[in-house]
Amino acid sequence: MHKRLFFVGLLIVVLSLVAVAEEVITVSVKGEGIQVELAREAAKEFEAIYPCVDVKVIDTPKQAQDTLSLYLQFFEAESSKIDVYHVDCIWPGDLAEFFIDFNDYGGQNYAPNHFQSIIDYFTVDGRLVTMPWYADAPVLFYRSDLLEEYGFDGPPETWDELEEMAKVVMAGEKKNNKDFWGYVFQANAYEGLTCDAIEWIASNDGGRIISTDGKITIANQNAAEILEKARGWIGTIAPEGVLNYAEEDSRKVWQSGNALFMRNWPYAYMLGNSEDSAIKGKFKIAPLPHGKGKSSATLGAEGLGVSKFSNNPALAAKVALFLTDYSRQKYGAITSSRNPSIKALYSDEDVLEAVPVTDTLYTVLENSVSRPSQISAPNYNKVSTLFFTTVHDILSGNQDDVMAALEELALDIQEVTGLKPVFE
């Protein structure tokens, strides 16, 4: 009898352990760079500490619009299939209603460690709906060896200087390499072009599409002027194919040694110095050039949000806080030059040794410009689509009158948001 009770008790224990072991938390990660790999490594660390939890990491589409559409399908279905979502900083205003408040799970204890501008991005109506994972702001990558060879002292500070240097170096390099170009960037019709174009416009004192007080300001002479300049790069210092480039397209051209300058996010730094890179040790980074204003880089932070439809939001929040903590961000910075969102890591000796340009990145982040995602919520995706479509038409030569195109854009944005345009 005692043996029978013993085995029954043992069976109950075993079954309870099996039940606990089946606790699964699914994390979606945008399939960009090595972010998925980093997430999976961190997931294994979490599982080693909490063996009764299975953290599954799935990758989602690379393009922001595609990922957002997928997320909305899950939310509309009130699906619990995904517990933790990889969130772009432009989404919280649109998706806040679907996420938990991290402040209910200790988030307020972590928030002060991050850049305040990023916390502001991820806070909606006082609710911290996304925990910062890493920060991002683009820089200018430049071939320091070629600039020195052709007699230039350093990287360009203005767009005019970039054009001049690109033309001089191209003229020399194309004699032996017909595939060489002066400048590559992201000009496909997607969110990446919104980032590039906001940087051009902000650097020329043209604003950021919509002002912080809710006025549509895109139709102004400074914005038109810099977009006309950028249109002049296509086919001259930049290949016509750049109109179809996203981040990785630009990086591959650059890393193969076929470009003097590249605008891209810092993840490309470590890859450019990999053993199989044609430009290893031959390049540096600098803040992006400017026009009439100052250098402007689009703030591009990423974070993790927990679905309110999760079957275990407390455990999901624990996973999210683990993936975004100091140690995991430090590892990402050292191994793949991911910009931390935790300020203290910019003075961490190990990070500075692995990524000597970290101090430059800190300066770029401090001078970054935000996209108008909060002021236009819940319609930012529509606003951005209108914007990058218009800019792409301008760059492609499909819009001859740039100012007229921007005025039409302002009216389209008004129709979507109800905000009032200001024409200059």
Per-residue pLDDT of the chain (424 residues; tens, 9 = 90+): 444 444 444 444 444 444 444 799 999 998 655 789 999 999 999 999 999 999 999 988 766 677 888 999 999 999 999 999 999 998 998 899 999 999 999 999 999 999 988 998 899 999 999 999 999 899 999 999 999 999 999 999 999 999 999 999 999 999 999 999 999 999 999 999 999 999 999 999 999 999 999 999 999 999 999 999 999 999 999 999 999 999 999 999 999 999 999 999 988 998 999 999 999 999 999 999 999 999 999 998 999 999 999 999 999 999 999 999 999 999 999 988 788 999 999 999 999 998 888 888 888 888 889 999 989 988 999 999 999 999 999 999 999 999 999 999 999 999 999 999 998 7
**In which region does residue 422 sit, left (phi positive, over 0), alpha (psi from -120 to 50) or beta (all else)?**
beta
DSSP code at position 53: E
H or E stretch covering 189: none
* Radius of gyration over every alpha carbon of the chain, rounded to an integer in angstroms: 24
CATH number for position 286: 3.40.190.10
Residue 248 and residue 160 in one domain: yes
Does residue 11 sit within a domain? no
Does residue 97 sit within a domain? yes
**Which among 203, 202, 197 has a CA at the least distance from the CA of 212?**
202
Domain boundary among 342, 369, 396: 369
Domain boundary among 347, 369, 391: 369
Does residue 356 sit within a domain? yes
Residue 313 and residue 405 in one domain: no
Does residue 1 sit within a domain? no
Cβ neighbours, 10 Å, residue 262: 27
Give DSSP secondary structure letters for 147-195.
HHHTT--S--SBHHHHHHHHHHHHHHHTTT-TT-EEEE---SSSHHHHH
Residue 305 and residue 237 in one domain: no
pLDDT given at position 13: 43
Residue 143 and residue 225 in one domain: yes
**HSE of 104, CA atoms in CB hemisphere, 13 A:** 14
Residue 86 and residue 62 in one domain: yes
Respond yes or no on whether the N-terminal peptide bond of residue 378 is cis (omega within 30° of 0). Answer: yes
Give the integer Cα–Cα distance in Å for 85 and 27: 6
Q: Which residues pair with 58 in a beta bridge?
A: 28
pLDDT of 326-352, one tens digit each?
999 999 999 887 889 999 999 999 999
Residue 121 and residue 222 in one domain: no
Residue 170 and residue 242 in one domain: yes
pLDDT given at position 61: 75
pLDDT of 23-48, one tens digit each?
999 999 986 557 899 999 999 999 99
Residue 87 and residue 132 in one domain: yes
Q: Which two tokens stand for residue 314?
A: 């407390």
**Which among 264, 259, 270 has a CA at the least distance from the CA of 247?**
264
DSSP code at position 241: G
pLDDT given at position 272: 94
Cβ neighbours, 10 Å, residue 213: 8
How many domains, the chain? 2
Domain boundary among 369, 388, 410: 369
Give the three-state DSSP class for 402.
helix
Residue-range definition of the domain harbouring residue 380: 139-297+374-421
Does residue 5 sit within a domain? no
Residue 321 and residue 396 in one domain: no
Residue 358 and residue 400 in one domain: no
pLDDT given at position 151: 97
Residue 278 and residue 305 in one domain: no
pLDDT given at position 401: 96
Does residue 321 sit within a domain? yes
Does residue 409 sit within a domain? yes
Which pTM does this prediction carry?
A: 0.82
Residue 399 and residue 358 in one domain: no
Does residue 154 sit within a domain? yes
Cβ neighbours, 10 Å, residue 177: 12
